[in-house]
Amino acid sequence: VTAVRVPEADLDAVLDAIGEAGRRLSEIGASEGAAGNISVYLGRSFDLRGRFPDEEAIELPEAVPELAGDSFLVTGSGRRLREIRDDPAANIGCVIIDEGGASATLRTSPRRRFERLTSELNSHLAVHRDRIVTTGARFHALVHAQPLYLTYLSHVEAYQDEAFLNRHLLRWQPETIVNLPDGIRVVPFCVPGSAQLQAATVEALRTRCMVLWSKHGVMSRSDTSVKRACDRIEYAETGARYEYLNLVNGERASGLSAEQIQAICSSLGIRQGIF
Ligand SMILES: [Zn+2]
């Protein structure tokens, strides 16, 4: 089998992209302390032994038999996303799924700075599995972050209604609908790391590229690049920030009208069902 070129075709480029995404998420106020985590499905195209020579056996939160032999990069629990770029290999673990899919080999750098992988590993793995099995993607990135304005609005009852949230957040800049044509899925609050959050996230990311975990944060996906997943968070957070500004300004602005957004979409050939 010929190795297929993936969008980010060498390991160092993917590690650098995770570092850059972590830095940007921190800059936009979406990753305080050690909040947030990033994972990337790499398939089988990469030789990981050079960067990650140490290995140990780990159990997986849930068996992923379809992904046996495949590799993932996953950020370490307790690591600060903003510091990943200083030494990506020390902050990231590489998971290679064993035959049968119930366990894995964790490969790490000798400079490893974490005990365990992210506590949201169950949601990351379940979403990767669902998307890879369904779409056959060769590359898949997932980013969880806690953007301030999006998360704040998820505490406000009106914005827990998905149609209301999308119509209000996607009205402030012409490019928002271009980057989020399917809008944002909203799921009710679930305990972090829980089976409920995992199931809701898998279902949400089947039809959307981003899910808002009410009263917690967001998860965004991309089968193109880590930065693309990160950009989507930034576009959504910018919309939420405009929305917040408007709320505290007595709602004096009305944003782009539905007709204006429809005109943008028809000019660019974008299908959307929000406006
Ligand atoms: Zn979180």
User: What's the longest Cα–Cα distance across the chain?
Assistant: 61
Q: Cα–Cα distance between 273 and 162 in angstroms, integer?
A: 12
Q: pLDDT band at 9, cuts 50/70/90?
A: low
- Dihedral in degrees, nearest 10, Cα atoms 251, 216, 231, 124: -150
**CA 130 to ligand 1 centroid distance, Å:** 21
The predicted-structure confidence for 176-195, as pLDDT tens digits, reads as follows 999 999 999 999 999 999 99
Q: Cα–Cα distance between 97 and 121 in angstroms, integer?
A: 13
φ, ψ (nearest 5 deg) of residue 162: -60, -45
Answer whether 181's CB lies under 8 Å from 71's CB: no
Q: Does this model's pTM top 0.85?
A: yes
**CA 191 to ligand 1 centroid distance, Å:** 10
**CA 7 to ligand 1 centroid distance, Å:** 27
The predicted-structure confidence for 60-118, as pLDDT tens digits, reads as follows 999 999 999 999 999 999 999 999 999 999 999 999 999 999 999 999 999 999 999 99
The predicted-structure confidence for 203-217, as pLDDT tens digits, reads as follows 999 999 999 999 999
Answer whether 17's CB lies under 8 Å from 6's CB: no
Answer whether 199's CB lies under 8 Å from 129's CB: no
Q: Cα–Cα distance between 185 and 189 in angstroms, integer?
A: 13
Nearest residue to 130 (alpha-carbon basis) of 213, 207, 15, 235:
207
**CA 215 to ligand 1 centroid distance, Å:** 10
Q: Cα–Cα distance between 144 and 159 in angstroms, integer?
A: 20
